[in-house]
Structure 1
Amino acid sequence: IATSAYVVATCRPNAPWARSYSVFFKLALAVLLIRLVFAVLLGSPLPGTHVIVTLPEIPLPDWAQGIRLGGKVTVETVLIAFYDGLRLATLLICVGAANSLANPTRLLKSLPGALYEIGVAVVVALTYAPNLIADVQRLRAARRLRGRPDTGFRGLLQVALPVLEGALERSVALAAAMDARGYGRTADVPPRVRRTTTALTLGGLLGVCAGTYGLLTADGGTYGLPVLLAGVVAALAGLRLGSRRSPRTRYRPDRWDVRAWLVAGSGAAVAALLTLAADRMPEALNPGVIP
């Protein structure tokens, strides 16, 4: 969490999507608090010996057996809830960091031609929440400058309508821009190439799934890696052939510089360290709370 906050603080661009990190951070804190409140009120089936406080227990009918409201709150229960909530909160914070740092235009330019249409839909979906948050912040600041309330139910209603109107106008403008740029046009590709592309892509994805399953099971260690590699090669070949259907031109292509290598290497190093830690020291990733 500290690393993501530092990276966002130092590398965040001045763009609308770069302001969503604080919202995701608040959402992560809310998730963590809700998990702790549920653990305190509903308890946990795991045993615990260090009692913090004993709440009044509400009796429930017979059909609600297994559910407890109130009772003893132990240190072990709170720690388990804290660890579970912290995992989900960390995921939300990392997603917020990715939303704040990722440039949708660069992301779309980096995709192969076969995934261009899907990539446009994903980019539009990813940029919807940051743009919505930016609109809310802008309208609330404007209302504060005019001396109008921006909190409470009334302020929420008066902010929600302009935000919805702005979202609709942005959608219409985006559709017009995509239509003007010829989005959706495809090149003439022979049917044999289309069938080959479909077979390679589907076969490659099935091979990746089967190879991954083989690597995760004890009996599939012999065939898991070859099937996985064959699936990756087939999927890449299918994507290569599928790129012929989407003619694209590149203006100022994005260069793979030293900074990009460092970012990619950092992610690969973290993944390798986590894999090694899960194999050598699994107890370090899942600390115990019950003595």
Structure 2
Amino acid sequence: MRPHHLITHPRALHPVAWWLWAIGLAAAASRTMNPVPLVLIMAVSWFVVSARKGNTPWASSYALFFKLALFVIFIHVLFQSLFSGSSQGLNVLFTLPELPLPKESGLRIGGPVTLEAVLTSLYVGIQLAAIFCCIGAANALGSARQLLRYVPAALYEIGVACIIALTFAPQLATDARRVRDAARLRGGRKGRLRRFGRLAMPMLEGALERSVDLAAAMDSRGYGRTTVTDPRTRRFTVALVTLGALGVCLGMYGFLNGTADSWLGLPMLVLGAVLGTLGLVVGGRRTGRTRYRPDPWAVPEFLVAGCGIAAAVLSFWQMSADPSTMVLAWPTQTPPVPPYAVLGILIAALPAFLAPPVPLPPRRRTAVVAAPVGAAA
């Protein structure tokens, strides 16, 4: 199959490509407190989801994550206004009744609420909201269940737990919509609290039934059965993976912290990645797995993943070149526009055009009833 045909032919994109794209955007959001690129990241995630989401149960999960992101912003600003840190700055907006607490506790409930404190908490909340939107976009575009097919065999059990956790919110939203529609058809009382009391039990019953079906399906497919039971191999695998994870954590700390020693940066990150990969390869021999009709990885997958990585790389470059455009020196200053970071985020919007079109659902054929001979007469 030719590469250009893979771009125009309707098919589902590889889920790993969508998750790499979303992780790149989330990494870009984690490097800035400037609301300009953060809001742009949220807009780009919404734009790509609107252009390339399919007709699947998990495609509507982005709206749930977006509402959760707005709730996170509200809660963060509310708690920052009520508790410690609200008294920073000089521009007092209003004063809340203050609850006296010991000075040794370091907490403050109530008191003056300043503009600087509200803006600081707002920017932190927007950063968390942008990361939530990136996760929601990955959930809506790439099937979390299909990711289970590409989890390394050594991390298969952990991968199953993560996939079930990621698919809980879309499935819960689907069950709530199904139960609500059934309740509307039957009629009944209108109160929201009473309606929630009637709908909670069917939703819980559906979740339990789905869990039992999942456990039966996993058991019938041989989940948890291993081909190698040598305890020395298991201990060696655990040691390699643990040392690799520790090396990656130290390397990321040294890479993100500019004041750390040089050996804590890229060398430790590379060493940890090598040890972790070796542990995954050795541990993968314990579990025999087969794949039926693997998803293709072609030019569109490289382009989509590259767009997300470009957003992260350009944001990191902007942070190293001019940190003042990514982290505001004072909350009340006008947020500047970081050119490299904005360029990377705009590149991350290209998957809306580079990804293959979503396959349309099959059309239902309507039966044509022929009129009996002589009826027209």
Percent identity between matched residues is 47
* C-alpha distance after superposition, 1:135-155 (max 9, x if no partner): 001111222233334651110
1:129 aligned residue (169, 178, 199): 169
Counterpart in the other structure of 2:296: 255
Answer yes or no: is the 8 Å Cα contact 2:245–2:276 preserved in 1: yes
CA drift at 1:96:
2.0
Report the residue type matching 1:67 in the other structure.
Answer: R
Counterpart in the other structure of 1:226: 267
* C-alpha distance after superposition, 1:93-122 (max 9, x if no partner): 222222222212320111111111211121
Provide the C-alpha distance between the structure 2 equivalents of 1:168 and 1:21, rounded to a whole number of angstroms: 24
CA drift at 1:13:
2.3
CA drift at 1:222:
4.2
Q: Structure 1's 191 and 267: CA in aligned 2 closer, same or farther, altered over 3 A?
A: same
Answer yes or no: is the 8 Å Cα contact 1:20–1:96 preserved in 2: yes
Q: Structure 1's 209 and 144: CA in aligned 2 closer, same or farther, altered over 3 A?
A: same
Of 107-116 and 191-200, the range deviating more from structure 2? 191-200
Residues 1:283 and 2:311 aligned together? no
Counterpart in the other structure of 1:18: 59
Provide the C-alpha distance between the structure 2 equivalents of 1:155 and 1:26, rounded to a whole number of angstroms: 21
SS of residue matched to 2:171: helix
Q: Structure 1's 119 and 113: CA in aligned 2 closer, same or farther, altered over 3 A?
A: same
CA drift at 1:219:
5.0
Q: Structure 1's 31 and 201: CA in aligned 2 closer, same or farther, altered over 3 A?
A: closer
Provide the C-alpha distance between the structure 1 equivalents of 2:151 and 2:303, rounded to a whole number of angstroms: 20
Which structure has more RCO (C-alpha within 8 Å, separation ≥ 6)? Answer: 2
Answer yes or no: is the 8 Å Cα contact 2:250–2:264 preserved in 1: no
Counterpart in the other structure of 2:99: 60
Provide the C-alpha distance between the structure 2 equivalents of 1:89 and 1:219, rounded to a whole number of angstroms: 29
Q: Which aligned pairs between 1:52-131 and structure 2 lie closer than 5 A?
A: 52=93, 54-55=94-95, 57-61=96-100, 63=102, 67=108, 69=110, 71=112, 73-131=113-171
Answer yes or no: is the 8 Å Cα contact 1:104–1:123 preserved in 2: yes
Answer yes or no: is the 8 Å Cα contact 1:44–1:77 preserved in 2: yes
* C-alpha distance after superposition, 1:219-244 (max 9, x if no partner): 52146433322221121111111111
1:45 aligned residue (68, 81, 87): 87
Q: Structure 1's 237 and 34: CA in aligned 2 closer, same or farther, altered over 3 A?
A: closer
CA drift at 1:249:
0.8
Provide the C-alpha distance between the structure 2 equivalents of 1:214 and 1:66, rounded to a whole number of angstroms: 32
Q: Structure 1's 201 and 59: CA in aligned 2 closer, same or farther, altered over 3 A?
A: closer
Provide the C-alpha distance between the structure 1 equivalents of 2:317 and 2:125, rounded to a whole number of angstroms: 24
Task: Let me know the Cα RMSD of the aligned residues.
Answer: 2.5
CA drift at 1:189:
5.0
Counterpart in the other structure of 1:200: 240
Q: Structure 1's 150 and 94: CA in aligned 2 closer, same or farther, altered over 3 A?
A: farther
Give the gaps of 5 or more residues in structure 2: 1-41, 334-377
Answer yes or no: is the 8 Å Cα contact 2:250–2:265 preserved in 1: yes
Number of residues of Structure 1 aligned to a counterpart in Structure 2? 287
Provide the C-alpha distance between the structure 1 equivalents of 2:78 and 2:265, rounded to a whole number of angstroms: 43
Answer yes or no: is the 8 Å Cα contact 1:8–1:100 preserved in 2: yes
Q: Structure 1's 14 and 154: CA in aligned 2 closer, same or farther, altered over 3 A?
A: same
Report the residue type matching 1:3 in the other structure.
Answer: V
* C-alpha distance after superposition, 1:189-227 (max 9, x if no partner): 545543433332233223323333444354521464333
Answer yes or no: is the 8 Å Cα contact 1:48–1:290 preserved in 2: no
Provide the C-alpha distance between the structure 2 equivalents of 1:141 and 1:32, rounded to a whole number of angstroms: 30
TM-score, with normalisation over the residues of structure 2?
0.69
CA drift at 1:80:
2.0
CA drift at 1:184:
1.1
Answer yes or no: is the 8 Å Cα contact 1:150–1:159 preserved in 2: no
Answer yes or no: is the 8 Å Cα contact 1:189–1:244 preserved in 2: no
Counterpart in the other structure of 2:179: 139
Report the residue type matching 1:221 in the other structure.
Answer: S
TM-score, with normalisation over the residues of structure 1?
0.87
Q: Structure 1's 286 and 218: CA in aligned 2 closer, same or farther, altered over 3 A?
A: closer
Provide the C-alpha distance between the structure 1 equivalents of 2:150 and 2:282, rounded to a whole number of angstroms: 17
Provide the C-alpha distance between the structure 1 equivalents of 2:125 and 2:243, rounded to a whole number of angstroms: 38
Q: Which aligned pairs between 1:181-220 and structure 2 lie closer than 5 A?
A: 181-215=221-255, 216=257, 218=259, 220=261
